[in-house]
Structure 1
Amino acid sequence: MRGELGTGTAQVAPRPVIGVTIGDPAGIGPEIVAKALAHSEVHGWSRVIVYGQALALERIRHVVPEMPRLEVVADVREALSAAHDGVPVVEVTAAFPPDVPIGEVSEAGGRASFAYVQAAVRDALAGHLDGIATAPIHKEALRAAGVPYIGHTEMLADLTGSSSSYTMFMTGPLRIFFVTRHVSLRQACDLVTRERVLETILAADRYLRRLGIAQPRLAVAALNPHASDGGLMGDEEARAVTPAVAEARDRGIQAAGPVPADSVFVQAIEGRHDAVISLYHDQGHIAAKVYDFDRTVSLTLGLPFLRTSVDHGTALDIAGTGRAREISMLEAIRVAALYARPWRTGTGR
């Protein structure tokens, strides 16, 4: 219970309130959310409020019989005002017709998934939620619905009026920031500039301190094989990465690099770096997912609140079958519960 007393006279801190959006209702989002909520430890970590539609969850109950009882509420105030017999679901009014097939890209799915995020962001900005954990949305469905964002990161930055936001991957000891993400590999190479690399180093240092790491040790991955071998294989290291690292050091930041990409992630896992700066999407994604695909969590930093997410897509091919694994959703809720309040207050862990 929130505010209950533990042993002695010390009061147990209230559980953080985490809004969980169910993602595209035609994908595996409802299933992994339902399965995650069936784990009793989730409700010890946090007070969960689901944002979506009970219909989208109930129609997959036959493959998730362990799904807890759902209690539809009109808004977050009702969800927080009293104890509930089931998990409160803020019923978002974006109509998701029951005849829309599971496992197919649809305009309705894109419209609904965007509405769920909008509702959770509104309540987080109003201070009702400590953080948000999101299930996956589908880029093509968003486009079909006319939603002008390619994904959660861009959507959240605009909805919160944030001038910049950064993605950090976290799995076990591995933390990864990205200089570029949702652009082509050709564009990513062109975007590896001294200014962008330095900006990412500075942001990583600032955000890790806010999450409780007093003196972050950062390493920047190289773009080219063997960090270009002194210019034999490209000049991006000499032109962009090395000057950015040098300037970061001049500013008092513990930064190393360029470190060959085939070594830097192993070094971080071994504890030599607190985080790695990945220069492009797959460079960091591959490392995290090979290390532990199911437990990789994406954190969006730079918003007024902390947002975490699973690091996989809607998996339309298995949606509605009961085969989706909820481990990443569990981790997303756990990490949100762990860091959401320190992020809001800037007090660290």
Structure 2
Amino acid sequence: MTLPVLAITLGDVAGIGPEITAKSLLGHDKLREKCVPVVIGDLASVRRGVESVGGDPVAISQINDPSEAQNVPGTIEVIQVGPSLESVPVGELSPEAGDGSYRFVVEACRLARERAIDGIVTAPLNKAAMHAGGHSFPGHTELLAQEFGVEDYSLVLSAGDLYFFHLTTHVSLRQAIENITFDRTFSVLKLAGAFAESMGKPNELIGLAGLNPHAGENRLFGDEDADVLAPAVEAARKQGLNVSGPLPGDALIPSAVRGNVNLVVVCYHDQGHAPFKAVYGDDGVNITVGLPVVRVSVDHGTAFDIAGQGIAREASLVLSLERAASLAPKWDVVWRAAQAM
């Protein structure tokens, strides 16, 4: 069986991306049985990452196209994108590093559109650095959506069989409330249904968390649950989706953690991220559903405070590679199902 080729975007080179990439590719040989990893980034930064974890820079080689990858355990194959970032200081916010993180993602998207790769795995970028570098995206997800020209997409946190879809992510809470519309809610419910269908579980229960405490409690604590979320649930049910909600988040999310609900839709960033990270930590990954190619990301940031010390844990990146490798062969099914909804 042909192994999926996965582009690893190096992220912000001033952060821990280079060293967790080095640890993942030099210390986890069994990954090579699941995928062909190709780093999209900066040779000098990868070399610095390898040295920080006590590796030998001779393991690094430059290639010009993913088709050249040999996938030999104990090696790192890198496609250089743009000028060298060797002068970027580690652990500091840098416009050059922010611009680089943007360019790495854009190049990976180009390779995906040309079908030179089968999936994208992203090391963390720093949003402030990317903005300083001239690219005003809230994060990876929105940049990927623009590159692929999609409007219906969702950030999805996943651990095992549990998936948290998000109606909104990197905006203020005030803006999130404004962004939670009938159309957006209906769209994400359909994406969750398409994802379930692609996994062979078209009748999988989808739980929608309420926006307000107690899901509004009959309008005592706000009208959004009754006026926006409930009609979207009803519309999704009419399309054959098994949706329940809006349900109080403090009841739905613990039930999901206990394994009673595998597909959860939350309203805003911290409603999903805070409990998810508290429970799963390094065992979680970030998947973007709604793109024509699988994209999986680590579920942590750039950690400038420990960057360059070689102590950052690579567990989330290894898990991201494994999850992307497992999803890539059937991602066309996810994409087609999403387009058909």
Normalised TM-score (structure 2):
0.92
1:264 and 2:252 aligned: yes
Identity %: 38
Equivalent residues, number: 334
Task: Provide the residue aligned with 2:60 in structure 1.
Answer: 70
1:1-150 alignment to 2 at 5 Å?
A: 13-37=1-25, 38-66=27-55, 69-79=59-69, 86-96=75-85, 98-150=86-138
Task: Provide the residue aligned with 1:238 in structure 2.
Answer: 226
Q: Distance in 2 between matches of 1:49 and 1:183?
A: 32
Structure 1 gaps, min length 5: 1-12
Does the CA-based 8 Å contact 2:158-2:286 persist in structure 1?
A: yes
1:268-279 alignment to 2 at 5 Å?
A: 268-279=256-267
Distance apart, 1:180 and its partner CA: 1.0
Distance apart, 1:306 and its partner CA: 0.6
Question: Segments of 4+ in structure 1 off by > 4 A?
Answer: 82-85, 345-348
Does the CA-based 8 Å contact 2:153-2:191 persist in structure 1?
A: no
Q: Distance in 1 between matches of 2:209 and 2:270?
A: 12
Q: Distance in 2 between matches of 1:206 and 1:302?
A: 9
Q: Distance in 2 between matches of 1:79 and 1:40?
A: 15
Q: Match for 1:183: what amino acid?
A: V
Q: Distance in 2 between matches of 1:87 and 1:169?
A: 28
Distance apart, 1:292 and its partner CA: 0.7
Distance apart, 1:270 and its partner CA: 2.8
Using a 3 Å threshold, how does the CA distance of structure 1 residues 67 and 130 change in structure 2: closer, same or farther? farther
Structure 2 gaps, min length 5: none
Distance apart, 1:40 and its partner CA: 1.4
Does the CA-based 8 Å contact 1:160-1:303 persist in structure 2?
A: yes
1:193 and 2:181 aligned: yes
Using a 3 Å threshold, how does the CA distance of structure 1 residues 247 and 345 change in structure 2: closer, same or farther? closer
Does the CA-based 8 Å contact 1:72-1:90 persist in structure 2?
A: yes
Distance apart, 1:271 and its partner CA: 2.9
Greater CA drift, 111-120 or 330-339: 111-120
Q: Match for 2:68: what amino acid?
A: E
Distance apart, 1:320 and its partner CA: 0.6
Task: Write out per-residue CA displacement over residues 186-236 of structure 1, whole angstroms, 9 at most, x where no aligned residue.
Answer: 121223333322221112111332244332210000122222222222222
Distance apart, 1:62 and its partner CA: 3.2
1:167-206 alignment to 2 at 5 Å?
A: 167-206=155-194
Distance apart, 1:24 and its partner CA: 0.7
Q: Distance in 1 between matches of 2:204 and 2:271?
A: 21
| More helix by percentage | 2
Across the aligned residues of Structure 1 and Structure 2, the Cα RMSD in angstroms comes to: 2.0
Q: Distance in 2 between matches of 1:19 and 1:118?
A: 11
